[in-house]
């Protein structure tokens, strides 16, 4: 099916933390293959694999030194091919991360480019002269803190890096660079992958004039980057020209998909990057990967999406490897502890119109892990301590068993510590409990797949006030209403005709009235 990704549910795997097959404390490709039956049993349509490519791991794989090689930490290219076959044998699609905005500073391309201004790859990266006083070319601020510019004495120039200084930005204004990246895409498509998750896809092209970014006016900036609007180091119109080339390449290899990460992005940017047949198939931004938005703002974001054939298609995620797990992030915000909050948020996620991404462990209702400073690995967390502990709390190993090392590894110590609060939510324990979060997730996915309305139907907000969110999904004669109570107060809704309860978390239907205790939800079939 050409548009299989519309309404699909995909499961994100962070390889370092999924399953360790060789006892070195780090997850790997063989470990993923060994646990594919767990993924298949969820009922998802496929997986998104975070980077497993050769890398010095300064940003844990998002700093690639060879786009065509598997890092030995994760295995070999043969291991990936075996994993791909194992997934396809289970009718699971495989989407792989492609980090094209930047490379590792260890990449041979950059090592050559930095030597002088006349070599073959001299313009493969973004280089600029200093200002007359020796300061950087402009005021752009990097995501992890500090200027986006680092001095290279061999060239007597600065190079651009929107992230770590060891992640230099490729120059997408170069025809040769664009061609080289499209060749990377062809390599993996010919291996048989089903598409790409494109890391920071709105950061490919920089402003040719290197104009200063305007101030944001943020009264409480967490980092210098929050003090400016990233108008000129991201979201350039030429980026869409390159994405059209990627779309052409991907579409030329069958029923594949592209999903772009638009960082930090917004629903407006998602619509722009997915509109028509020459842009991304779908995209996600950070509207729901930050602080609890409240029902009014959430409803406004969801209602903005037009539903014409060329109006773009959204993707939604509440958790991933870059943010605190949603059960903690939103659960704490609304006053609902993670175990109770998990089914509420999962039901919401799986009721939305779009392509859905579930992050590993979300199906278990995992809270964000507590990682002490001395165990932190994330460079962002280490630099930001104690204001932030970075991203490690969402990256700890999946608990397969309720034991010291969680069934994840036979090593004496995993790369990140096991949080006991996560270990007690292990897969093995939840399998045996009929009302567990694991079984709830499976039931919600099965319901979505069996309902044309939930899978791909229209979306209309019915109510968004006083902590309640209600919306209708419709496709033909299939009419469904999804109702959520995010307040610590009882609520109720009355219907003209008694609906049928498809799924409920604490909500009870009495006659024509739906009773909604605090933090409850219901999915109803309307007559």
Q: Which one of 28, 45, 194, 199 is the catalytic residue?
A: 199
Residues 485 and 288: their CA atoms lie apart, in Å, by 18
Q: Are 165 and 197 in contact (CB under 8 A)?
A: no
**Same domain assignment for residues 260 and 404:** yes
In tens, the pLDDT along 41-88 reads 999 999 999 999 999 999 999 999 999 999 999 999 999 999 999 999
In a domain, 109, yes or no: no
Number of helices and strands in the chain (H, E): 15, 21
**If you search the block for the tokens 């009929």, which residue do you land on?**
434
Structural domain including 251 reads 9-103+175-206+237-445
Strand extents, DSSP E, 219-369: 257-261, 282-284, 315-317, 355-359
Classify residue 399 by its DSSP letter.
-
Residues 481 and 510: their CA atoms lie apart, in Å, by 17
**Same domain assignment for residues 439 and 483:** no
Q: Which one of 20, 63, 97, 261 is the catalytic residue?
A: 261
Per-residue model confidence (pLDDT) at position 1: 67
Q: Is 261 considered catalytic here?
A: yes
313 token code pair: 């298609």
In tens, the pLDDT along 310-361 reads 889 999 999 999 999 999 999 999 999 888 999 999 999 999 999 999 999 9
How many domains is the chain partitioned into structurally? Answer: 2
pLDDT at position 388 over 90 = no
Q: Are 471 and 462 in contact (CB under 8 A)?
A: yes
**Same domain assignment for residues 491 and 424:** no
Per-residue model confidence (pLDDT) at position 97: 98
Per-residue model confidence (pLDDT) at position 467: 96
Cα 319–Cα 320–Cα 325 angle in degrees, nearest 5: 45
**Same domain assignment for residues 502 and 381:** no
In a domain, 138, yes or no: no
**Same domain assignment for residues 394 and 476:** no
**Same domain assignment for residues 409 and 431:** yes
DSSP 326-338: HHHHHHHHHT--H
Q: What are the b/e assignments for 37-47, b being 16+ CB within 10 Å?
A: ebbbebbbbbb
Q: What is the CATH number of the domain that holds 495?
A: 2.60.40.1180
pLDDT at position 424 over 70 = yes
Mean pLDDT of the chain: 96
**Same domain assignment for residues 335 and 433:** yes
**Same domain assignment for residues 300 and 389:** yes
In a domain, 228, yes or no: no
In a domain, 126, yes or no: no
pLDDT at position 383 over 90 = no
Per-residue model confidence (pLDDT) at position 168: 98
Calculate the alpha carbon distances from 153 to 67, 141, 159 in Å: 27, 21, 11
Q: What are phi and psi of 152, to 5 degrees?
A: -115, 105
In a domain, 230, yes or no: no
In tens, the pLDDT along 221-280 reads 888 999 999 999 999 999 999 999 999 999 999 999 999 999 998 889 999 999 999 999
Query: Once rounded to an integer, what is the mean pLDDT over residues 452-462?
Result: 97
pLDDT at position 436 over 90 = yes
Per-residue model confidence (pLDDT) at position 308: 83
Q: Is 241 considered catalytic here?
A: no
**Same domain assignment for residues 336 and 475:** no
């Amino acid at each position: 099916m050409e548009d299989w990704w519309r309404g699909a549910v995909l499961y994100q795997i962070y390889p370092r933390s999924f399953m360790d097959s060789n006892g070195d404390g780090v997850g790997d490709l063989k470990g993923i293959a060994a646990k594919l039956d767990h993924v298949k049993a969820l009922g998802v349509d496929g997986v998104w694999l975070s980077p497993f490519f050769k890398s010095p791991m300064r940003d844990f794989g998002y700093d690639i030194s060879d786009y065509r090689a598997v890092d030995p930490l994760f295995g070999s290219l043969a291991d990936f091919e075996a994993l791909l076959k194992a997934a396809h044998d289970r009718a699971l699609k495989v989407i792989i991360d492609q980090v094209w905005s930047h490379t590792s500073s260890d990449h041979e391309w950059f090592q050559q480019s930095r030597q002088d201004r006349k070599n073959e790859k001299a313009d493969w990266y973004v280089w600029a002269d200093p200002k007359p006083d020796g300061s950087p070319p402009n005021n752009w601020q990097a995501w992890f803190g500090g200027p986006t510019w680092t001095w290279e004495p061999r060239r007597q120039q600065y190079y651009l890096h929107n992230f770590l200084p060891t992640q230099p930005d490729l120059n997408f204004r170069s025809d040769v660079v664009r061609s080289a990246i499209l060749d990377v895409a062809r390599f993996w498509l010919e291996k048989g992958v089903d598409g790409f998750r494109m890391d920071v896809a709105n950061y490919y092209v920089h402003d040719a004039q290197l104009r200063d970014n305007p101030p944001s006016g943020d009264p409480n900036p967490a980092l210098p980057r929050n003090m400016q609007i990233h108008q000129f180091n991201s979201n350039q119109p030429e980026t869409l020209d390159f994405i059209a080339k990627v779309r052409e390449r991907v579409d030329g290899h069958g029923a594949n998909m592209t999903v772009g990460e638009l960082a930090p992005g917004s629903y407006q940017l998602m619509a722009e990057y997915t509109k028509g047949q020459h842009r991304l198939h779908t995209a996600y931004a950070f509207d729901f990967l930050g602080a609890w938005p409240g029902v009014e703002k959430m409803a406004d974001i969801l209602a903005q999406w037009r539903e014409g054939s060329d109006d773009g298609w959204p993707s939604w995620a509440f958790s991933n490897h870059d943010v605190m797990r949603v059960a903690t992030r939103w659960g704490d915000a609304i006053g609902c502890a993670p175990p109770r909050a998990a089914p509420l948020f999962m039901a919401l996620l799986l009721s939305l119109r779009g392509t859905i991404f579930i992050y590993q462990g979300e199906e278990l209702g995992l809270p964000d892990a507590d990682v002490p400073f001395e165990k932190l690995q994330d460079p962002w967390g280490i630099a930001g301590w104690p204001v932030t502990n970075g991203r490690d709390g969402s990256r700890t190993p999946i608990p397969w068993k309720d034991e010291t090392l969680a069934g994840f590894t036979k090593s004496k110590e995993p790369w990140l510590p096991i949080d006991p609060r996560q270990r007690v939510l292990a897969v093995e324990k939840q399998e045996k409990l009929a009302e567990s979060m694991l079984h709830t997730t499976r039931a919600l996915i099965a319901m979505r797949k069996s309902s044309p309305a939930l899978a791909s139907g229209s979306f209309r907000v019915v109510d968004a006030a006083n902590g309640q969110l209600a919306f209708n999904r419709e496709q033909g004669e299939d009419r469904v209403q999804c109702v959520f109570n995010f307040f610590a107060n009882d609520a109720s809704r009355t219907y003209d005709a008694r609906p049928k309860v498809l799924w409920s978390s604490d909500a009870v239907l009495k006659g024509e009235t739906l009773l909604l205790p605090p933090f409850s939800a219901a999915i109803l079939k309307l007559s």
